[in-house]
Amino acid sequence: MRSMSMRCGTQPAIVRRRSPELPGRIEDYALIGDCETAALVSRNGSIDWLCWPAFDSDACFSAMLGDKKHGHWQIAPLAELVNCTRRYRGDTLILETTFETADGAVTLIDFMPPRGAASDIVRIVRGDTGRVKLRMDLVERFGFGVNIPWVKRQDDGALLGICGPDMAVLRTPVETHGEDLTTVAEFEVGAGESVPFVLTYGPSHLKVPAPINADDALKDTEAFWLDWSGRCTCHGESRDLVMRSLITLKALTYAPSGGIVAAPTTSLPEKLGGTRNWDYRYCWLRDATFTLLALMNSGYTEEASAWHNWLLRAAAGSPAEVQIMYGIMGQRRLLEWEADWLPGYEGAQPVRIGNAAHAQLQLDVYGELIDAFHQSRIAKLQLDGGTWAIELKVLEHLASVWEQPDHGIWEIRGDGQHYVFSKVMCWVAFDKGIKSAETFGLEGPLDDWRRLRDTIHRDICEKGFDRSQNTFVKFYGADTLDASNLLLPSVGFLPASDPRIQGTIAATERHLLRDGFVLRHDPREVSGEKQPIEGAFLACSLWLADAYILAGAIAKAQDLFDRVVGIANDVGLLAEEYDSIAKRQTGNFPQALTHIALVNTAHNLGGAKRDAEKKMQRAE
């Protein structure tokens, strides 16, 4: 098992020289959250990203997409660091960063208590050895880094910042003062002492939120996470990695609705310095089945039920209006615009807020929806009585549109195509509809569905398979590949032993593998050059491991799994992608789909190894 702690100074080569005013590498961040929003904390004790009060709210700390003047909150020693390590406190979301200087050592404890009457960020500086001088810099900039609040001190010493609808209250025993539109403080902490800082959000038209006790909040938050993580049924060699991924998924869950955001960030680039910068603070249907399996197989049926219920509410209505993604409460209009005052992460522009892809036609979502409902029935989740009626309408609609071109699982902007994976998921929709009806005694036009299922299967095999390359291709008539086709055996379209699946795996190894990781897009698409348009997609790398498992290549699957988890940061977090040349994580962070795939591959590996052991025991 890799260590979950490392020196803050041991960093791979970076793309350009970085100013202290600029954010760190994507993997330099850790996550804290209260199951309604989340903040990213850098190695140097700076909170550089936070949308308040919810995942999809405007950010009040946006330094990650610009520099410190766009909003951040840093607490760190004044003296030069000798060493810096960090970890999560056990199976919790409480972050502990230990700074060592020549004068002594302190630990910065960062967390967000599960949401009570208000949302709080608690930061406690604990003295470990010696006596250390520290500085706090608080730069609040609402509206994604552009709106400066009006700040005043209350009679009780609390510092109140108001800007339009937003209010933030800082409470600390440390004396603070204003300096260049920044709230600053310098203070000392000795061994055995602790100094709390609590920043609380509230709507500006309401009363100032009541104070909380930092020490009590720490105890309550630790108890909350330990109780939650203690319900995990996953054991074995990958337990710690799986647990950290599950805690991350819990942190990315919007508790009031059960929706799970793809990431808490927007516009972290898929390619460093590039333009593929998207807003991921929404909930995607494409993740539905993967998410349910990850939760249910780990013992979290309550969270699985909440996700299922969110899914049902979000997709309710006309099947023709089912979207690929929704807001955290099921909102449908996710209008996209650009925050042109933000320079972007390491200059990657534009910075996008909202996501225009919500209006695309992606046929795969129908398959993911029906499959998720089927898996819920298999797991004996309590389903709404109207679920099957919705599925009947969805399948009726899909029967009339499955032959249309769409934009594919990767939300390609431009003209639609007949994407192979989209067609496969149409097949999955009817296959799982049939299986639900047969297994659970549900009424439906099964003969029509069976005929259509066979028709779609033949259509894909005739038009989506390139015999000259012996592989399924990206879309009908294409000669390039798509990593999503690695899921064909997982969804049951063809067994992993089928020569066409074996050929697809082999073609993936030839064309989509780079430095041992899987690209989701074929590099041959870019003007015939073998230059990828983005980093390797980590979920796709794990999908190849799953295909290996189904094909019986357990050792290859284990090697690939180890390679992916090996690039997790020091606290076990993974972004969407990995640039193996720069040796850096890229894309929005932390990425739910990556952590979901990690959990599922770990379960698949564990199951395959247990089956192999049983087979050996029977042979003996």
Please write the tens of the pLDDT for every residue from 90-99: 999 999 999 9
Q: At what angle do helices 364-378 and 387-401 cross, to 10 degrees?
A: 150
Type of residue found at 214: A
pLDDT at 314 over 90: no
Buried b (16+ CB within 10 A) or exposed e, 194-215: ebbbbbbbbebeeebbeebebe
Which among 191, 222, 253 is the end of a domain?
222
Please, which pLDDT band fits residue 7 given cuts at 50, 70 and 90? very low
pTM: 0.93
Residue 1: inside a domain: no
3-state secondary structure of 356: helix
Nearest to 243 by CA among 615, 565, 610: 565
**CATH number of the domain enclosing 78:** 2.70.98.40
Tens digits of residue pLDDT in 542-591? 999 999 999 999 999 999 999 999 999 999 999 999 999 999 999 999 99
Q: Could you tell me if 188 and 306 lie in one domain?
A: no
Identify whether 10 is part of a domain.
no
Task: Please say which residue of 195, 222, 249 terminates a domain.
Answer: 222
Mean pLDDT computed over every residue of the chain: 92
Same domain, 130 and 245: no
d(CA 342, CA 62): 8
Helix axes 592-619, 538-550, angle to 10 degrees: 20
pLDDT band at 532 (very low <50, low <70, confident <90, very high): low
Q: Look at the chain and report how many structural domains it folds into.
A: 2
How distant is the alpha carbon of residue 434 from its chain centre?
32
- List the domain range (segments joined by +) for residue 257: 231-619
Sign of the Cα torsion 63, 64, 67, 72 reads: positive
CB atoms within 10 A of CB 438: 11
**40 vs 332: CA distance, rounded Å:** 27
Average pLDDT over residues 202-207: 94
Same domain for 202 and 84: yes
Q: Would you say residue 488 lies in a domain?
A: yes
Predicted confidence band at 14 (pLDDT cuts at 50, 70, 90)?
A: very low
Name the nearest CA neighbour of 350 among 341, 359, 360: 341
Tell me: do 406 and 539 sit in the same domain. yes
In angstroms, the CA 557 to CA 578 distance is: 18
Q: Is residue 497 part of a domain?
A: yes
Nearest to 293 by CA among 602, 596, 607: 596
End position of a domain, from candidates 197, 222, 247: 222
Q: Does the pLDDT value for residue 112 go beyond 90?
A: yes
At residue 615, what are phi and psi to the nearest 5 degrees? -65, -40
Name the more confident of 172 and 531: 172
Same domain, 443 and 518: yes
Q: How far apart are CA 447 and CA 523, in angstroms?
A: 42
Q: What is the mean pLDDT of residues 502-513?
A: 97
Mean pLDDT of 359-373: 89
